[in-house]
Structure 1
Amino acid sequence: MRYPQALLPPGATRIDPELSALAPDALARYAADTANPWFRRRACVVALDGRVPEAHVAALLARLRDDEETGGVRQALLAVLGDRDELLPWLTHEDRRHERGRTADAILATRGRLGDLTAVTGLTTLAASPWHHERMAGEAGLDGLVARRGIGAVLNEVGDGRPEDRVFRVRMAARAGEDVTYALADPDRTVAHFAQSLADDPARLRARIDEAPTAEAGLWAAYALHRLTGDADETREIDHRLGRPRVEVPGLDEGLRAAIVHEYAPRCQRQSDPRWRVEALCTEPPARPDVDEQLRRATAALSAAGLAPRTPVSAGDHYRQGGGTYYRIAYGEADSAVLISTLGPFASGRRGGSPRAALESAGFRWFDDSAEDVTVTGLCVYHFGDRVPLDVRTLLFYWQD
């Protein structure tokens, strides 16, 4: 069949809107035929949303139930056929336990849409995931479960001992228009962070600051209040009232601290200590260096030392993807190079000697492997799948693909 193929040229992964204008029978036949490329079949399934011909349901369900079918096609089929009650026995069969990745997430979400209360623990876990696609699948499944069973029945199945369950309770409370600022004092920072993201009443937050049982609860309230009002003066006054709490990190001087706080605290991970977030709001950011001037100065210093530096290359260009907070200057022969940070006059390399002396004479501060011994406690930064505190050297010379 040529029409879906014409709308999806070789190698394409996007879904052409014109597919939705094609006859459902033609789309269903194309999607069910495994001789066609999987990505085109997936696109046809998506275009069938809300208009699956009953005559083709059995063939499409056969594709869904086939363990050899591509995950992308199965996930699309679950999205468009997942409201069919006859699917539930297959979805809950023990054979589904071997499913992994996004297909497993889609199966769990579909069980929620069909009202399977036994899926609630898995769904609350999924909905609290730091990964966006997992969180969306979990929330969709929980919303479907609530729609089918009612909020009371679902809450009866959800405990409060796990942070994931408390996140769900906070979300349901916010949806009902209830005050969620109580959760700012939750001992788990992911719950407290989630609660601050949903708090929407400045008066309640101001009251919570005065009643906060812990310094962290007060800081979460201050952070949420700043999100709503943008009043930096009020945030600084609250911080002062709370005693200006901050995370002390041995080996981290004020210059380094300022550079790191203002680069990473505004986008740190949800389990980070709120003291870092509020510090970023209440302190002045350091002046950003003139990166071009720094690179010229570093290149000149290396040249004067007879090291034959080559053209500086950004971290992203060096790895041909992503970005970072440094430039790499290769010099001499082999793979020798120094790194120049974009966060300040900071330089690093795996070898010291001549390049270190040259750059220090040009006003750069040198960081060797010992900088990896200083971890910035409580400031969790995404780094290749991990969301944990990083060491000073990694933060100053950071790259992410």
Structure 2
Amino acid sequence: MAVERMLRTPEAEQLLELTRELVDKELAPRAARDEEEGVFPRDLFRTLGAAGLLGLPYGEEHGGGGQPYEVYLQVVEELARGWLAVGLGVSVHTLSCYPLAAFGTDAQRAEHLPAMLGGDRLGAYCLSEASSGSDAAALTTRAGRDGDGYTVNGAKAWITHGGEADHYTLFARTGGPGADGISCFHVPAGVPGLSASAPERKMGMNSSTTAGVLFDGVRLGADARIGEEGKGFGIALASLDSGRLGIAACAVGVAQAALDTALAYSRERHQFGSAIGDFQGVGFMLADMATMIAASRELYLAAARRRDAGRDFTEQAAMAKLMATDTAMRVTTDAVQVLGGYGYTRDFPVERHMREAKVLQIVEGTNQVQRLVISRHLARRSRA
């Protein structure tokens, strides 16, 4: 179903039309089969890069699209509507590019960003560890000083594109305990000592590889560090604010796909002489689904406009991620219900959407963490 949105420029409209065409012709026809077989769609990321869709919110001087975040997120939503593994993959790749684009030196940006934004390299974001998921400041991977560079030892967990990525944005401890002892690094794949564990066996998103990434004596030069030493945790938090909006857009895309299927089925399926969508019990369910999707979309777009205007959007990003992913979980569950027994089979995509929606309530900070972020902002305003 085409969704009307406020677009800023004809160029933005053309980008969305191009994205919809790629989704309908390249992504959606492959999604079910490749998810069943666990195929990582690396070729599609190259296709998206060639189409200019892997670097949309970054500057044109380094090969990006120079588009507002508001436009970029709508592209992510469309990609997730066709195949969440691809939409989320684009969001994670964009997240992995942010520290270098925002905090890197001119020399670092000139060296790395063109390939990262042009589709030649796919990125991963290495923050989480097995014992420091939501408590990211407790990470233990260490980058110790070694001459004029660093030697990295440790392990990261739950890394999207782990073992498939061409570069890793790494957060590692260079100082003492706590947030002030963390630094950020750009790590190319293939450096000695870098490896990935076997991919996780997941409920859904089988085409999106999730694996541990191991650092065993990985040697990095001083020019691999992004930003000042000990300032990496602030970089991580700034990155996650933007990344949460990407997850919100993905969630809206998945929910929209589930609603589209449920709506079409409700018009085709007849019982007692009428289309089931004409019965109030089903019609009202569809109405609620559409309303929650529309509200979630407007929330992430409003947060994106704050970001584009240079205003603080941490609280709004948490709200958008919270509402959109909870909406995706409810909408996909209701879509399965609308289809009845067929919804529980793999002959229709809604069971896959339901399995996929669950992970969106977990990644980029669980929804419990989002509530914590929001409540702290409320308390801060109340004290002020």
TM-score (norm 1): 0.23
Higher strand share: 2
Q: Larger radius of gyration, structure 1 or 2?
A: 1
TM-score (norm 2): 0.24
